[in-house]
Amino acid sequence: MVLRKKSRQTQRENPMNTIVQKYGGTSMGTIDRIKNVARRIIAKKEQGNRMVVVVSAMGKSTDQLVAMAYAINDRPPKREMDMLLATGEQVSISMLSMALAEMGQKAISFTGPQVGIKTKGVHGRARIMDIDTTKITQALADDSVVIVAGFQGVNENDDITTLGRGGSDTSAVALSCVLHCPCEIYTDVDGIYGVDPRLYPPAKKLDVVSYDEMLEMASLGAGVMHTRSIELGRKYNADITVASSIHDVPGTLITASAAATQKPITGMAVYNDEMMVSIKNVPYDVNISARLFSALAAAGINVDMISQTSPIADRMHISFSASHDDIDALEKALAEFQAAYPQTAVDLREDAVKMSVVGSGMKAHPGVASKFFRLLSAQHFPILMVTTSDIRISCMIPAEARERAVMAVADGFEL
């Protein structure tokens, strides 16, 4: 999104006490739940706030629309898909507006195109470029609650676009950026957890997490928040609160200040569908890595972790990981590589998982890596590969060690 320069004030100024709230599909899933959302909006409004509310489609209705599309055409045209999927949110904005009217609260609903949510890019994955706030500001001045359809916008050809599944979060954060006000995301979980509670039941909810940590923990965060919404929040320094729409407990604040993070490790993520490739005895030559990875890229294989040993006696080892989805293309590319370099030994390991610990606190706390490896080594399994960034340590481990590793690390770092 490119905000016009003059509107680049900070969200914290918020002179008009505006709040953007977003309610997801579960929170809007039934008539009673829509009424509950309406009551929550009125309560906030009565505290003197001007309310802008973004909603997702009711319950699983977007999935049902997708199924309908595929029932009639197994390759539905993307423009028509967006036309169809955008209707889900149009149902929920009007229903919520009616619920508010029934409770005596003035409200007006708008689709994305109606409030000038301008997008660019391909159908099904469009990106918000700009939002015209005129209509919203007028309606707020008129004392109305403004309800905006999430997940949708309009492109330069006046076609309806959608932002990718889960994209209502991004609509809400983008609105809070242009209105310079806080963003509250209400969902069916109590906030962001350091570890997925399904993997580690004692997992604790985080009070604060930084944008960078959220992005590094994409597999954790993506389940709760649309990744693009975090990127936007980071770019415009917008505070985002994620909380439950049902339980009245404080949620998680997503913000820039990693200083608020006291612990060395904020969270852990585990990715299951990885494969690991080791190529031994590769002749050392300056072009060989480029040749190997170009061949993989040409075959459409997304390579994740890479490690290469320094050459000993003109031979080196190269290891990398890739997604399980690419196994056919990978086997073919590896066979071609080995045919070109017959002295190499190629090993493809399908039963590997990638485990990452993430934390801005890592920069200030020495010894995080040593503690991480100590915790893992106590479980007696080999670590197959390691990579790091300044706030993350990732390693590849045998799939059979997954549960033990998660418990040991989560206990050890009190996640």
What residue numbers does the annotated binding site cover?
A: 22-25, 62, 89, 187-188, 193, 198
Q: How far apart (Å, rounded) are the C-alpha atoms in residues 246 and 244?
A: 5
Q: Is 361 in the site for ligand ASP (CB under 6 A)?
A: no
In the complex with Mg ion, which residue's Cβ is closer, 153 or 166? 166
In the complex with ligand ASP, which residue's Cβ is closer, 62 or 344? 62
Q: Which of residues 110-169 bind ligand ASP (CB under 6 A)?
A: 150-151, 165-168
Summarize the annotated binding site for substrate as residue ranges. Answer: 62, 89
Q: Binding segment for Mg ion among 45-53, 161-169, 271-279, 366-374 (CB under 5 A)?
A: 161-169
Contact pick of 62, 111, 252, 266 for ligand ASP (by CB under 6 A): 62
119's tokens: 């997008």
Annotate each residue in 164-183 with x if it binds Mg ion (CB under 5 A) or - if it does not, as one string.
Answer: --x-----------------
Q: Is 233 in the site for ligand ASP (CB under 6 A)?
A: no
In the complex with Mg ion, which residue's Cβ is closer, 128 or 393? 128
Q: How far apart (Å, rounded) are the C-alpha atoms in residues 252 and 73?
A: 41
**Total of residues contacting ligand ASP (CB under 6 A):** 12
For the CB of residue 26, give the shortest distance to Mg ion in the complex, in Å: 9
Q: Is 26 in the site for ligand ASP (CB under 6 A)?
A: no
In the complex with ligand ASP, which residue's Cβ is closer, 92 or 319? 92
When CB distances are held under 5 to 8 angstroms depending on the partner's kind, the choice from ligand ASP, Mg ion, none that residue 211 binds is: none
When CB distances are held under 5 to 8 angstroms depending on the partner's kind, the choice from Mg ion, ligand ASP, none that residue 182 binds is: none
For the CB of residue 198, give the shortest distance to ligand ASP in the complex, in Å: 21
Contact pick of 11, 27, 56, 111 for ligand ASP (by CB under 6 A): 56
For the CB of residue 176, give the shortest distance to ligand ASP in the complex, in Å: 15
Q: Is 267 in the site for ligand ASP (CB under 6 A)?
A: no
Contact pick of 29, 59, 88, 264 for ligand ASP (by CB under 6 A): 88
Q: Binding segment for Mg ion among 30-38, 163-171, 254-262, 298-306 (CB under 5 A)?
A: 163-171
Q: Is 150 in the site for Mg ion (CB under 5 A)?
A: no
Report the 3 state secondary structure along the chain.
CCCCHHHCCCCCCCCCCEEEEEECCCCCCCHHHHHHHHHHHHHHHHCCCEEEEEECCCCCHHHHHHHHHHHHCCCCCHHHHHHHHHHHHHHHHHHHHHHHHHCCCCEEEECCHHHCEEEECCCCCCEEEEECCHHHHHHHHCCCEEEEECCEEECCCCCEEECCCCCHHHHHHHHHHHHCCCEEEEECCCCCECCCCCCCCCCCECCEEEHHHHHHCHHHHHHHCCHHHHHHHHHHCCCEEEEECCCCCCCEEEECCHHHCCCCCCEEEEEEEEEEEEEEEEECCCCHHHHHHHHHHHCCCCEEEEEECCCECCEEEEEEEEEHHHHHHHHHHHHHHHHHCCCCEEEEEEEEEEEEEECHHHHCCCCHHHHHHHHHHCCCCCCCEEEEECCEEEEEEEHHHHHHHHHHHHHHCCC
Q: Are 106 and 94 a contacting pair, CB within 8 Å?
A: no
Q: Which of residues 326-345 bind ligand ASP (CB under 6 A)?
A: none
Q: Binding segment for Mg ion among 102-110, 162-170, 267-275, 382-390 (CB under 5 A)?
A: 162-170
For the CB of residue 24, give the shortest distance to Mg ion in the complex, in Å: 5
Report which of 64, 67, 52, 112 is spatially closest to residue 86, judged by C-alpha positions. Answer: 112
In the complex with Mg ion, which residue's Cβ is closer, 232 or 408? 232
For the CB of residue 154, give the shortest distance to ligand ASP in the complex, in Å: 16
Q: In what order do the strands lie in the sheet with 127-131?
A: 127-131, 117-120, 152-154, 160-162
Q: Are 241 and 169 a contacting pair, CB within 8 Å?
A: no
Summarize the annotated binding site for ATP as residue ranges. Answer: 22-25, 187-188, 193, 198
In the complex with Mg ion, which residue's Cβ is closer, 3 or 246? 246
Contact residues for Mg ion (CB under 5 A)?
A: 166
Contact residues for ligand ASP (CB under 6 A)?
A: 24-25, 56-57, 62, 88, 150-151, 165-168
